[in-house]
Amino acid sequence: MTKIDDVARLAGVSTATVSRALRGLPTVSAATRRRVLAAAEQLQYAVSPSASRLAGGRTATVAVIVPRITRWFFGTVVEAVEETLHESGYDLLLYNLGGRERTRQRVLGTANLHKRVDAVMLVATPLRRAELAALTVLDLPGVTISSGSGVPGWPCVRIDDVAAARTATRHLLDLGHRRIAHISGDPDDELAFTTHLDRRRGYQEALRAAGIEPDPGLDVESQFTIDGGEQATVELLARGEPPTAIFAACDEMAMGAMSTLREAGLRVPQDVSVIGIDDHDLSGVLGLSTIAQPAAEQGRLAARLLLDPLDGRDLPPPGGPLILPTRLVVRDSTAPPRAD
């Protein structure tokens, strides 16, 4: 395998001169550059992209900031981002905030990222004013994934949460359900950002389009987890007559709802239909109807949007958020309501 030392020997210059010549720096004379290029071509020497970046004072590393890596959506996105970055010679530096305020302050509230990364990706992490100011000072390329975490000048990749919720609710309406409950994110939960608001809005819009006024008694807030879905459904059942269907704001909440319903002696879907949003890896196993969102594709697209400026492709920024399509996946957890 040809090394830079071989090129230097053949061209009669130092390895530092070879490096400067191959990077096109103006401190090398035209004659010397021609000699170096000829030697490199003769020896079939190829410059490592990652080595070239490091030599140019870059880190070849992208910071990816997520609220909780243990959640299905975030883990799926990060895996796709890492694969895409590695294909282009970049490493991923993961910051998992994990609900810890001190971690958040260390990562977002200071110059922690300075000279450690070449770009930043925010996944479902809404920024406070001071955090936004700190990132702006760094003057790094960036991209966001999911609603509620936009940064001025950064492209955003997401789904249309309002439309996804409308589709889920409309599916239940089309089956004949009228008493449809909604379990969604707690506004005090850091993970909820604006997603819970958008999905509630879609749920309410679908009901009103069908001539049904949303009932606050059928709307329960909790966290975007299986435990959160269980707790919300326990509260929902304690309020009186159970609904004939539940639209959960995410699949993990839907799984918790299904568990609680069965413990209460209610059959899914014969007594209560359940639908979620995500198409979690376990949704097919559990027979959960859902609105599938392309989590991995959101990660791949966001990574490619970062690679363009990092690799010198000066493309115009998107005119708005890049919204990827969702689709209804009907499985065993939804059916028409009982005749009685």
**Strands 142-145 and 156-159, sheet pairing:** parallel
CA 69 to chain centre: 11
pTM of the full structure: 0.81
- The structure tokens 């994934």 sit at 145
Question: Is residue 192 over pLDDT 50?
Answer: no
Model confidence at 166, pLDDT cuts 50, 70, 90, reads very high
Contact (Cβ atoms closer than 8 angstroms) between residue 138 and residue 111: yes
Question: Is residue 291 over pLDDT 70?
Answer: yes
Residues 68-119 have pLDDT tens digits of: 888 899 999 999 999 999 888 889 999 898 878 888 888 877 667 777 889 9
Locate 269 and state its tokens: 């879907």
Listed in sequence order, the residues at least 6 apart from 65 whose beta carbon sits closer than 8 Å to its beta carbon are 95, 97, 107, 108, 120, 121, 122, 123, 125
**Level-2 CATH architecture, domain 61-159+295-323:** 3-Layer(aba) Sandwich (3.40)
Locate 247 and state its tokens: 């639209």
Higher pLDDT, 186 or 47: 186
- In whole angstroms, what is the distance from residue 80 CA to residue 87 CA? 11
Model confidence at 52, pLDDT cuts 50, 70, 90, reads low
Q: From the CB of residue 54, how many other CB atoms can be counted at a distance below 10 Å? A: 12
Give the pLDDT score at 315: 62
- In whole angstroms, what is the distance from residue 302 CA to residue 143 CA? 6
- In whole angstroms, what is the distance from residue 169 CA to residue 201 CA? 11
The full set of domain ranges for the chain reads 4-47, 61-159+295-323, 161-293
- 61-159+295-323 and 161-293 share one CATH topology? yes
Sign of CA dihedral 232, 236, 238, 244: negative
Question: Is residue 50 over pLDDT 70?
Answer: no
Locate 14 and state its tokens: 């130092």
**DSSP structural state of residue 308:** H
Residues 217-255 have pLDDT tens digits of: 999 999 889 999 999 999 999 998 999 999 999 999 999
CATH of domain 161-293: 3.40.50.2300
Locate 301 and state its tokens: 């697209």
**DSSP structural state of residue 222:** E
Segment 309-328 shows an average pLDDT of 80
Segment 306-318 shows an average pLDDT of 74
Give the pLDDT score at 189: 62
- In whole angstroms, what is the distance from residue 248 CA to residue 109 CA? 34
- In whole angstroms, what is the distance from residue 58 CA to residue 298 CA? 26
**CATH label, 4-47, candidates 1.10.260.40, 3.30.10.20, 3.60.21.10, 3.30.70.1400:** 1.10.260.40
- In whole angstroms, what is the distance from residue 222 CA to residue 288 CA? 20
